[in-house]
Structure 1
Amino acid sequence: MGRAEERRARQRGGRRAATGHRSSPAGGRGRIRRLFTWKKMVGGFLGVCLLGMGAFIVLYMVISIPEGNADAQRQGNTYQYSDGSIMARKGYNREIVDLARVPKDVQHTFVAAENKSFYQDAGVDLRGTARGLLNTFSGKGAQGGSTITQQYVKNYYLTQDQTVSRKLKELVISLKLDREKSKDYILAGYINTSYYGRGAYGIQAAAQAYYRVDAKDLTVEQGAYLAALLQAPSQYDWANATDTGKRLVQERWNYVLDNMVGQKWLDASARQSMTFPVPKEPKAAPGMEGQTGYLVEAANAALTRQLVAQGTAEDTKQAEAMVEAGGWTIKLNIDKKKQTALEKAVKEQLTARLDPEQREVDANVQAGAVSVDPKTGAVVAMYGGVDYVKHFRNNATRSDYQPASTFKPVILAAAVDEDAETQDDVPITANTLYDGTSKRPVVENGREVGFAPENEDDVDYGDITVQEAMNKSVNSVFAQMGVDVGMGEVVEVAGKLGMETEGMEAVPAQTLGSMGASPLEMAGVYATLDNHGRKVTPAVVKSVEHASRSVQFPDPVGDRVISREAADTVTSVLTGVVDDGTAKRSVRDNPLRRGQQVAGKTGTSDNNKSAWFTGFTPDLVTSVGLFGEDAKTFAQVPMYKAGGQPRVNGGGFPAQIWAAYTFGVMDKVSRFDLETKQGAAVQPSTSPSPSTSPSESPSQEETEEATPPAEETSAQPPSDEESGSLPTQPSTPTSPTGTPTGEPPSDGASPDDPALPGAEQDRAAQ
């Protein structure tokens, strides 16, 4: 054996000896390194890729382009009253048009909006599909990134379901379709099967729905809007869009046209001269006349929201498409008897007294109302407007008008629920005294906050109890109370009760009800009070049935959101508004009342643009709103002299509609079961007189505010004076019948009485 061989032998022996002394972990690491060498890792990756490719090849061979089934299987929807009787049947609206009938520039708007590489790609977006598959696996739902070909395949050949198998089929069919069919064939299918909102499927129906023209007559600007609309039909529909929605759709419209310029499909100079083409007002589909269209629209909206909420649909656009695709049997909570009674009450108490030919302003009065069972949350009746075909927007669900003084009970609810105190550390109750002087500066921690609201007709009430202030709707009192409670707490309680508080600023001006709200929203707030503080979310839909989908709606009645004492105290105080306040003439003295206990609140907004009465019995809550809307421009306008009255107030037409409806459907006389510091109920200063006949004309006996918005209200300059302006608590509880220190008009000429001169009527709005 040579030296070299001996050396190698010694080395081998040394390694064996060393190995014998190594610890187990080191040996484990060595084995791991030997197992995961770079060669093995690369080989494994290539193996996975080959397996994936093989699986895809198998799928490609197995999956064929199916027969289009979306057209043949689309169905209408059936809508039922709560008793199961048929309310309406609604189909879908679509007309297929040849691509040649669509201007080339309009065709390009859809490509520019959705898939700029459409004419060059192979029909799929691999990165977008991979992202969609990953999100589906992780439970996040699908996201954008699909090509026009993929979207057409999903719309026409497949379903909207979010499953891995559907996405894989979509990928394979899209690749095959792109190879077998022309780009024009695919584009035509896409624009003819897509959903554009307003019940319109396909570009022809959309052109008619939004611009009253045929697809062949669409301009580039109009085509760009329809193309932009496909991203979010409901959110981007100009007729119903919020300010945010309008801004977003205009941004997308610009995006589409700019992409066309970038693709050399549109001349840059022509692009600069283009202006946004505002769509025409919606026109209802046949069969939706009267109140039916409003009810169907509200039911569809509720179903759409629930499909998204439970994850059946990834977004509102997809949910709307599912609803419009048909096959649904939707049972509403609407009670046929109550619905008929509400329509009759509006007709007899309002529309029969309006004469647009004699008074132009009468054409501008819109009514909306919602009636809710506080124990179940069911919306048992809804009035959306004079006729769905004539006035498309649902006045019962619109939230662009101020609720005015109907917001005051929310402030009191917050005060009691939070155990709030005045600036003098006195607990706030129905008997707490406040300074009701008009234009009195609101004070916080000894300093004026720069807000001094005027009482209606600038009436000074002097020291006045909270009960009297609610009865007479004294602005100066509730402005101070809001600051005493803390406006942040007031807004928080408003949200708990069911108001939309996103974007609601916690400022004293909100105490005048300067935010927007709908009758549906206010009915829910008052239903929560009626239900002793348990949250009531008004529910239009009772149940739905579908052959292939299951939808479960949450219980409309939830947990307690404010204390029972707070809710019952507010209810107790609101009985005084009816028995001794702004609603007494229309409600208290109504001969149909028969001793029924009632609580409620009136409201009249800035410049008489809206008037409200939201009232309730133990078994029924109804909110009625009147809105001034220009019949041609749809702008908010005053309602002065409508119906022959100097001013439309909550205690007039709205309260009369409420009384005629509520007392007309009342099965029995009931009493509130209240737990309050004031006992069973605050006693009115005047006993109800059921035998007294109601006024033949709309009552104007109210003392609620028609104050301009906060920025228009003249606030008093800061002062160092702190005494004499803060609320105080009497040593012993006082009756809510104390005489105000000011000199309001007598019963024969209340601040809202028709006998007052017009100039005096308008002071509060100046």
Structure 2
Amino acid sequence: MVSHSSNGRKHARRAAQGTSERRSTRNPAARHYRGGNHRARGGKGPKARGRSRHLILKWILGLIALCLAAGIGLFAYLYATTEVPAPEKVAMASNTTVYFSDGTTEMGTFSEQNREIIDCAVLPDYVGNAIVASENRSFYTDRGIDLQGIARALVNNVTKGTRQGGSTITQQYAERYYLGETTSYTGKLHEAILALKIAQSQDKSQVLCNYMNTIYLGRGAYGIQAAAQAYFNKDAKDLTVSEAAMIAGIIPAPSTWDPAQNPKMAQQRFHRVISIMKEDGYITAKEASDASTMPTTVENTQQDMYKGPNGYLLQMVRDELVNSKAFTKDDLDTGGYRIVTTIDKSKQDLMQQVVSPASNGMQGVVPEGMQFGAMSVNPKDGSIISLYAGDDYLTKQLNNATQAQYEVGSTMKAFALMGAVQDKVSLNTIFNGNSKRTYPGIAGTVSNVGGANLGYINLYKATAQSSNTVFMDLQTKLGTKKIAELAREAGVQSTSLDGSEPYTVLGNNALTVRDMTWAYSTIANQGNKPTLHIVASVKDVHNKDLYQAPTSTTKVFEANDANLVTKALTGVVQSGTATEARSIGHTIAGKTGTSNNMYAASFVGYTPSVVSTFAMWYPDANGNPQEIPSFGRWTGHSDYPVHLFTQYMTQALAGTANESFPTAKDNGKVGGSDGTWGTGSKSSSKRYYSSSGSQDAYTQDQSTDSAQSGQSSESGAGTGGTGSGSGTGTGSGSTGECTTNPSAAGCTSSGSGSGSNGTGSGSNDTGGTGSSGSGSNGTQGDVPENTPSDPSTNPEQTPGVME
């Protein structure tokens, strides 16, 4: 048992040691048992409550002090770390203008905004003063921020739950052109700090000028210059006092207060600005009176720069420069560059007029949904002269010249010809040009169009007549992958051409107009591959050169090999499937192409200085290919693309001298170096063709003097008569257009022979017989490709039957 005396001693000992008695924090029962003051636990006295309130107040004051310190610290940090961006990078961003090849005719502009930066020194003082009167009367005296305006906006923000600005011109400038629009408190703090720094680092005239050059003023116009053009069709330097006041008055809501949309509000704002300008001494009372009539604005003609055919050109320019890695999209939109393209304005207009059914009078004749694509380039440097991509970029963004694909048909045969020439195969090598032939690895038979039996012909004639069976012989020797490789080396970019198609040489692959134009440009340029491009040069706002087009070429084929291919391709125009192009009056080489099932038709033709491709195809509503129907006097073959080519090139080459192709030496061997190409040497029982210069002439085996008939073919070979005696043989062939109009230019042709006694004559496809001597063959008549001699004969739709 613990005595009271011992407890007293303990208390005394603790007091002497300076310690207090430890109080129990256990439950009340325990404290009561140990002598705790039970009454005291029931509540707190006045002193205790006072101490609690004092403690809370200290906490609140401490928290406020902490927040203030943090705010001051944050402000100090932001102020110290905030840098004013260079005006050139933001406020001075300007439209990039794109020109046609003449460097003066505008094609369009690139911009995030329709903005043109000007030197404010050229502006009358009242232009800037009108904006000051409208937006910030204290501009010339404030420090970049308006504390009263900020306080007023803060009250409204708190009481009305809205976000108001209370911004000065400097703050608006900082917000919109350095920060982007902001309504948050932290954003406004950053804006105020930046405005203070701008006010310290830039004088008032500089701030006002940058503001005027970049503020949005409606009608898609950013800056006073663009606005002057949009509202009054004049430069900003020519604005009157009233015009400047009208523009300044609608700054808070330019689209809503546009005089064309809300004339009442626009007029109220206009009179307000005039009144303030007079009150603040910017204009005299007389000037205010003279300017008191609301000016009349022009019609709002704002439209999308990409509307119409130029939209395709502008997008090609953007893509080419961005893909070059020399520029970013932002660079083009804000750099204020001057871009000159390779597009010839007059030839571009001509291309559009020739190809577009909406322009060439064929609307309503051409089936709705028919697609056309075209491109014309200079093969020597790769510059694109003109193109047809479509009628309106905003309606259809797919570019028919560079993106849309079509089956290229027999235009692929040029690369098989190149392969044969590279393997030292003479173009005089004889091949079997008859129809219904079989080939290793090919299911079924292959025929020429119309099932034509062209006989035993050399590669000149096989090219002119576009013999499927002869070129399948070439593919058998070369392989599909080799032909595809040669086409890619020449310029085909589409990855779909990989040689996996069994009919690669017949053009089953879907490629683009640009692919074929590029590849043929390499052949036209004697084996030197150019880089196709649409941009000629780029200069900055100071006229400094930033970019020059890649005009150099790369040698991919031997010059003589390319020239031999060209030599063969001239026969297509002179006596083959594209004879309408003879009327151009220039030496032309080229190749027609019609896909299987008549899904697409095209023609690639060229001179030494211009390569042009014209193509058409007829997709269904889902984009799947379907047969091209006949329209007007045109069949679904390449006669219409040849016609478009002829129309365009006749005018594009008007007034220019005819250019001859370089000479080429056929240094190959008949049958190839190994003697396995074609049928080998000529046989006395077979007809064959030989070449004379760039033209090939039909030659009759001299071991027989019997009359021979001209073989039916897609080009309608009409031969003159043979016989003995003195006389002439004439031949003519006509189908297609010539059937209904035999007197049309180029529908008949003739040849002659000499001997003694007798005459020979022939018409259509069979020559007559004379009495003695021999007559030479007549020149071929103009029968469009793919047209059988017998109009009742339909082309066989077996695999590989295409032109």
Query: Are 1:84 and 2:118 an aligned pair?
Result: no
Given that residues 439 and 452 in structure 1 are in contact (C-alpha distance below 8 angstroms), is that contact kept between their aligned partners in structure 2?
Answer: yes
Letter in 2 for 1:469: A
Equivalent runs, 1:330-341 vs 2, <5 Å? 330-341=339-350
Q: 1:759 to 1:386 in 2, by over 3 A?
A: farther
Query: Are 1:460 and 2:465 an aligned pair?
Result: no
Q: CA deviation at 1:674?
A: 2.1
Aligned to 1:388: 393
Query: Are 1:672 and 2:661 an aligned pair?
Result: yes
Residue of structure 1 aligned with 2:637, choices 638, 649, 660: 649
Q: CA deviation at 1:568?
A: 0.1
Aligned to 2:338: 329
Q: CA deviation at 1:350?
A: 8.2
Q: 1:388 to 1:470 in 2, by over 3 A?
A: same
Residues of 2 paired with 1:441 and 1:490: CA distance? 20
Given that residues 603 and 612 in structure 1 are in contact (C-alpha distance below 8 angstroms), is that contact kept between their aligned partners in structure 2?
Answer: yes
Query: Are 1:640 and 2:598 an aligned pair?
Result: no
User: Alignment partner of 2:794: what SS?
Assistant: helix
Letter in 2 for 1:582: T
Aligned to 2:427: 430
Q: 1:743 to 1:649 in 2, by over 3 A?
A: closer
Aligned to 1:536: 530
State the Cα deviation string for residues 553-601 of structure 1 (Å, max 9, x = none): 45333121101111000100000000110001x212x2xx33x211011
State the Cα deviation string for residues 67-89 of structure 1 (Å, max 9, x = none): 79877454332111111122333
Residue of structure 1 aligned with 2:648, choices 661, 674, 684: 661
User: Alignment partner of 1:364: what SS?
Assistant: coil
Task: Give unpaired runs (5+ residues) of structure 2.
Answer: 1-75, 115-175, 181-185, 192-219, 221-301, 669-675, 691-695, 699-707, 717-732, 736-782
Given that residues 614 and 644 in structure 2 are in contact (C-alpha distance below 8 angstroms), is that contact kept between their aligned partners in structure 1?
Answer: yes
Residues of 1 paired with 2:105 and 2:659: CA distance? 32
Letter in 2 for 1:362: P
Residues of 1 paired with 2:350 and 2:475: CA distance? 38
Aligned to 1:346: 355
Residue of structure 1 aligned with 2:81, choices 55, 59, 63: 63
Aligned to 1:217: none
Given that residues 110 and 332 in structure 2 are in contact (C-alpha distance below 8 angstroms), is that contact kept between their aligned partners in structure 1?
Answer: no
Given that residues 327 and 547 in structure 1 are in contact (C-alpha distance below 8 angstroms), is that contact kept between their aligned partners in structure 2?
Answer: yes
Aligned to 1:75: 94
TM-score (norm 2): 0.51
Given that residues 398 and 404 in structure 2 are in contact (C-alpha distance below 8 angstroms), is that contact kept between their aligned partners in structure 1?
Answer: no
State the Cα deviation string for residues 163-212 of structure 1 (Å, max 9, x = none): xxxxxxxxxxxxx989989xxxxxxxxxxxxxxxxx9xxxxxxxxxxxxx
User: Alignment partner of 1:618: what SS?
Assistant: coil
Letter in 2 for 1:648: G
Letter in 2 for 1:748: S
Letter in 2 for 1:428: V
User: Alignment partner of 2:407: what SS?
Assistant: coil
Letter in 1 for 2:435: S
Query: Are 1:610 and 2:600 an aligned pair?
Result: yes
Number of residue pairs the alignment of both structures matches:
458
Aligned to 1:304: 322
Aligned to 1:203: none
Q: CA deviation at 1:609?
A: 2.4
Residue of structure 1 aligned with 2:555, choices 549, 560, 564: 560
Equivalent runs, 1:602-751 vs 2, <5 Å? 602-630=592-620, 633-643=622-632, 645=634, 647-650=635-638, 652-666=639-653, 667-677=656-666, 727-731=678-682, 734-735=689-690, 736-738=696-698, 743-744=712-713, 746=716, 747-749=733-735
Deviates more, 1:634-643 or 1:364-373: 634-643
Q: 1:351 to 1:638 in 2, by over 3 A?
A: farther
State the Cα deviation string for residues 447-474 of structure 1 (Å, max 9, x = none): x555743322232333221111111111
Q: 1:94 to 1:366 in 2, by over 3 A?
A: same
State the Cα deviation string for residues 266-314 of structure 1 (Å, max 9, x = none): xxxxxxxxxxxxxxxxxx96243443112112111111111x2xxx46x
Q: 1:438 to 1:557 in 2, by over 3 A?
A: farther
Query: Are 1:601 and 2:591 an aligned pair?
Result: yes
Query: Are 1:478 and 2:471 an aligned pair?
Result: yes
State the Cα deviation string for residues 96-153 of structure 1 (Å, max 9, x = none): xxxxxxxxxxxxxxxxxxxxxxxxxxxxxxxxxxxxxxxxxxxxxxxxxxxxxxxxxx
Residues of 2 paired with 1:611 and 1:378: CA distance? 25
Q: 1:571 to 1:450 in 2, by over 3 A?
A: same
State the Cα deviation string for residues 678-697 of structure 1 (Å, max 9, x = none): 89xxxxxxxxxxxxxxxxxx
Q: 1:178 to 1:290 in 2, by over 3 A?
A: closer
Residues of 1 paired with 2:421 and 2:617: CA distance? 32
Q: 1:486 to 1:618 in 2, by over 3 A?
A: same
Name the % identity.
25
State the Cα deviation string for residues 436-495 of structure 1 (Å, max 9, x = none): 23342224xxxx555743322232333221111111111122122023123332222212
Equivalent runs, 1:495-534 vs 2, <5 Å? 495-500=488-493, 502-507=495-500, 508-534=502-528
User: Alignment partner of 2:107: what SS?
Assistant: strand
Q: CA deviation at 1:543?
A: 0.6
Residues of 2 paired with 1:323 and 1:410: CA distance? 39
Q: CA deviation at 1:638?
A: 2.7
CA RMSD in angstroms, aligned pairs only: 4.1
Letter in 2 for 1:530: A
Letter in 2 for 1:305: N
Q: 1:178 to 1:569 in 2, by over 3 A?
A: farther
Residue of structure 1 aligned with 2:407, choices 390, 402, 407: 402
Residue of structure 2 aligned with 1:367, choices 372, 381, 386: 372
Residues of 1 paired with 2:409 and 2:510: CA distance? 9
Residues of 2 paired with 1:764 and 1:321: CA distance? 53
Query: Are 1:489 and 2:475 an aligned pair?
Result: no
Residues of 2 paired with 1:514 and 1:79: CA distance? 38
Letter in 1 for 2:568: V
User: Alignment partner of 2:509: what SS?
Assistant: coil
Equivalent runs, 1:14-163 vs 2, <5 Å? 63-64=81-82, 72-92=91-111
Residues of 2 paired with 1:466 and 1:349: CA distance? 40
Given that residues 379 and 521 in structure 2 are in contact (C-alpha distance below 8 angstroms), is that contact kept between their aligned partners in structure 1?
Answer: yes
User: Alignment partner of 1:381: what SS?
Assistant: strand
Query: Are 1:546 and 2:546 an aligned pair?
Result: no
Q: 1:485 to 1:741 in 2, by over 3 A?
A: farther
Given that residues 409 and 595 in structure 2 are in contact (C-alpha distance below 8 angstroms), is that contact kept between their aligned partners in structure 1?
Answer: yes
Q: 1:633 to 1:87 in 2, by over 3 A?
A: farther
Aligned to 1:469: 462
User: Alignment partner of 2:532: what SS?
Assistant: coil
State the Cα deviation string for residues 43-80 of structure 1 (Å, max 9, x = none): xxxxxxxxxxxxxxx99995326579877454332111
Residues of 1 paired with 2:410 and 2:86: CA distance? 57
Given that residues 365 and 642 in structure 1 are in contact (C-alpha distance below 8 angstroms), is that contact kept between their aligned partners in structure 2?
Answer: no
Comparing both structures, which one devotes a greater share of its residues to helix? 1
Q: 1:757 to 1:727 in 2, by over 3 A?
A: same
State the Cα deviation string for residues 388-433 of structure 1 (Å, max 9, x = none): 344432211124212111111011112212x2xxxxxxx5232111
User: Alignment partner of 2:503: what SS?
Assistant: helix
Q: 1:649 to 1:74 in 2, by over 3 A?
A: farther
Residues of 2 paired with 1:464 and 1:525: CA distance? 27
Residues of 1 paired with 2:546 and 2:796: CA distance? 51
User: Alignment partner of 1:555: what SS?
Assistant: coil
Q: 1:606 to 1:328 in 2, by over 3 A?
A: farther
